[in-house]
Amino acid sequence: MLHQPQDQYLLERSWQRSRDYGLSQHSRFDPLCLPRQDIRQRKQQHALLLRYLNSSLPLFEQLQQGRRCRLLFADAEGTILFSAGDPYFGSQAQKMALASGASWHEQSMGTNAIGTALSERKEISILGQQHFLAANHGISCSASPVLSPHGELLGVIDISSDQGEHCQDMLLTARLMAQAVENALVMNQQDTHWILNLAPDAGSLQQPWSGIIALREDGELLGANRSARSWLQELDIPSMLSELKQGELTPLGQGMALLSRQSRRQQIAATPSCSPAETPIPHEVTALKLMARQIPLLVQGETGTGKDHLVRRLHQSCARADGPLVAVNCGALPTELLEAELFGYVTGAFTGGNKQGRPGYVRAAHGGILFLDEIGELPLAAQTRLLRVLQEKTVTPLGSHVPEAVDFQLIAASHRDLVAMVEQGGFRQDLYFRIKGFQLTLPPLREYSTDDFNRLIKTLLNELQQDGTVLGEPVLEETALQTLKAYDWPGNIRQLKQLLEVALVLAEGDKIGLEHLPELPRLDCPVPDNTGDLKSLGDRLIERTLKDCNGNVSAAARQLNLSRTTIYARLKALKGA
């Protein structure tokens, strides 16, 4: 049954339109099909949209997880121009005219998800017998409209399946796919210079449902997605542009805020008041240039330093932003299925496999980025096959003898010492040199400067605030902040975020003190009994940092973000105490 009462109203109106068109429930099933030349012409008109939709297929596959359904796109006249998904239902869908060139406008096919979503300009599910034509009662469909950057109806994205296999979340998937395509159309218009991200909170920033506005360099509005379009009347774009050029954060009122901005000329998304993990690291611009030449990247760093976050940033800023980002944790793949998961397999390759086979992560990354996290966990046999894929730019699925061409940007990451692994025979030397075209090393949290650490704390607290843990703006008391800075953080940013989350709950307010820090080891820098004695705590922090730096005052000064004069003065005072 339909999910909302308003859908029932839409259904009744659609059935009445079907009758007005002269259809009856037992009308002959005779869908209109365009000639090939007309289909080709329509596909050319929507070439950019179809390219973005095709690049989003990994998202569809991830959300539907092998269900027997088809992903369709039909233009504003109801003509299907794109069809992908489960091969089994694909043969059934062909019989049901759910294939390229078939028209599903209400005028010829009665009430159906594609035609009704077009007529109402609203998302809707039409399940089984809710179809007007009895011939369509065996299928269920969910469709969501796709709008242009200027708000015109371009068509609908539809997910169709057998009537008994349709799931409620298929409408959500259609909506997400439509939003992803709409956002890509807004962000990739010619002459776009500024891309504004609008959201009511930081947690919604750069999500598919966040507001996106595209501007020319002179501030002329080029387009907006549906989320941002409802805010356009409230925005003073000339003033916003002026403040953007000055790098200032712009409040928009009613709880909305400008949370990010992007200069297309710079090709780097910049975020005001961002954490060190979000600030472009020194080699990031270089990394993007190298990626444009297909040079692989190796990201090194301890666990929890933000490697996955960096890869997402590179994907958003590189020339392959419209393609998929396929992230694979090599250490989490089951050993017995590792090669099947990576390289895919054909029907009947092994007992227990999917009857239709699987494309595998490598083929799923075609046209985009393949991110192999914890690549040091790959066994030698898989390393050998991966090396062959990288050398030949083809992959042969298990059970097949036919290589298939693949085109992807490789980014590998590991917290392990790969050089030591090569020396010990645990990692192939030729593969190591193949993946290390350029190396990015993320610093551990204990090496952050005081300013970077404080900025990170503020960002993490703001993120945690969005889940309603506290009211107001949570802050750390100075003693608690200094204690956190003195800690080694073996789990890095991930560990810090979890500790802050616990501290916010314990504090039951907007101020976190030492008493709210859960079982934080004091290491060799114990907190003074008088927690208000900031000078004493600072002196201990200086002593510990100097010890870590083997007495090198210059190195300690850089790590603490203090002048050498200040450190010498405090050391002199300590000696005289």
Tokens describing residue 422: 């090569």
Average pLDDT, integer, range 423-430: 93
To 10 degrees, what angle do helices 564-576 and 553-560 make? Answer: 110
Does 186 reside within a domain? Answer: no
CATH number at residue 141: 3.30.450.40
Q: Domain range holding 12?
A: 5-177
Final residue of a structural domain among 126, 145, 177:
177
Does 279 reside within a domain? Answer: no
Task: Give residue 48's pLDDT.
Answer: 87
Final residue of a structural domain among 441, 476, 499:
441
Question: DSSP readout, 265-324?
Answer: TTTEEE-TT--TTTSPPTTHHHHHHHHHTT--EEEE--TTS-HHHHHHHHHHHSTTTTS-
Model confidence at 1: pLDDT above 50: no
Q: Which residues pair with 414 in a beta bridge?
A: 300
Query: In terms of domains, do 261 and 329 share one?
Result: no
Query: In terms of domains, do 168 and 198 share one?
Result: no
Model confidence at 485: pLDDT above 60: yes
Tokens describing residue 287: 């990394």
Query: In terms of domains, do 252 and 322 share one?
Result: no
Separation of alpha carbons 180 and 160, rounded Å: 19
Neighbours of 216 (CB within 10 A): 16
Question: DSSP readout, 435-485?
Answer: H-SEEEEPPPGGG--HHHHHHHHHHHHHHHHTTTSSSS--EE-HHHHHHHH
pLDDT in tens, 77-134: 999 999 887 765 655 555 667 778 889 999 989 999 999 999 999 999 999 999 999 9
Task: Give residue 466's pLDDT.
Answer: 55
Whether 306 and 277 have beta carbons less than 8 Å apart is answered as yes
Closest CA to 162 of 70, 53, 31, 261: 70
Does 161 reside within a domain? Answer: yes
Average pLDDT, integer, range 457-484: 71
Average pLDDT, integer, range 168-190: 87
Task: Give residue 540's pLDDT.
Answer: 65
Query: In terms of domains, do 241 and 291 share one?
Result: no
**What is the domain count for the chain?**
4
Task: Give residue 38's pLDDT.
Answer: 87
Separation of alpha carbons 169 and 179, rounded Å: 15
CATH number at residue 351: 3.40.50.300
pLDDT in tens, 4-36: 445 788 999 999 999 999 999 988 777 788 888
Task: Give residue 254's pLDDT.
Answer: 44
pLDDT in tens, 270-327: 222 234 444 444 456 778 878 888 889 999 888 888 888 788 878 877 888 878 888 8
Query: In terms of domains, do 437 and 458 share one?
Result: no
Between β-strands 297-300 and 409-414, what pairing exists: parallel, antiparallel or unpaired? parallel
Model confidence at 349: pLDDT above 50: yes
Residue 526: CA count within 13 A, CB half-sphere? 3
Separation of alpha carbons 428 and 376, rounded Å: 10
pLDDT in tens, 532-562: 333 455 666 677 777 777 778 777 776 665 6
Of 327-341, 390-404, 562-576, the poorest mean pLDDT is in 562-576
Does 189 reside within a domain? Answer: no
Query: In terms of domains, do 410 and 293 share one?
Result: yes
Task: Give residue 460's pLDDT.
Answer: 79
Query: In terms of domains, do 486 and 566 share one?
Result: yes
Whole-model pTM: value is 0.47
**What distance lies between CA 143 and its chain's CA centroid?**
23
Does 50 reside within a domain? Answer: yes
Task: Give residue 93's pLDDT.
Answer: 53
Query: In terms of domains, do 22 and 162 share one?
Result: yes
Final residue of a structural domain among 441, 473, 502:
441
Query: In terms of domains, do 66 and 152 share one?
Result: yes
Query: In terms of domains, do 431 and 481 share one?
Result: no
Tokens describing residue 247: 């790098």
Q: Which residues pair with 440 in a beta bridge?
A: 299
Task: Give residue 511's pLDDT.
Answer: 79
Task: Give residue 566's pLDDT.
Answer: 65
Separation of alpha carbons 19 and 111, rounded Å: 10
Query: In terms of domains, do 161 and 17 share one?
Result: yes
Does 325 reside within a domain? Answer: yes
Looking at the chain, the whole-number percentage of residues with pLDDT higher than 70 is: 76
Alpha-carbon dihedral 200, 204, 206, 208, rounded to 10 degrees: -110
Residue 382 CB partners (closer than 8 Å, separation 6+): 338, 339, 342
Task: Give residue 276's pLDDT.
Answer: 42
Ramachandran quadrant class, 28 (left: phi over 0; alpha: psi -120 to 50; beta: rest): beta
Whether 464 and 512 have beta carbons less than 8 Å apart is answered as no
Does 60 reside within a domain? Answer: yes
Find where tokens 């940092």 sit. 545
Separation of alpha carbons 199 and 183, rounded Å: 14
In terms of average pLDDT, the best of 236-245, 418-427, 462-471 is 418-427
Query: In terms of domains, do 314 and 419 share one?
Result: yes
When the pLDDT of each residue in the chain is averaged and rounded to a whole number, the result is 78
pLDDT in tens, 242-286: 766 665 544 554 444 454 444 443 332 222 223 444 444 445 677
Does 391 reside within a domain? Answer: yes
pLDDT in tens, 138-172: 899 999 999 999 999 999 999 999 888 888 888 98
Separation of alpha carbons 81 and 352, rounded Å: 34
Closest CA to 405 of 432, 354, 367, 448: 367
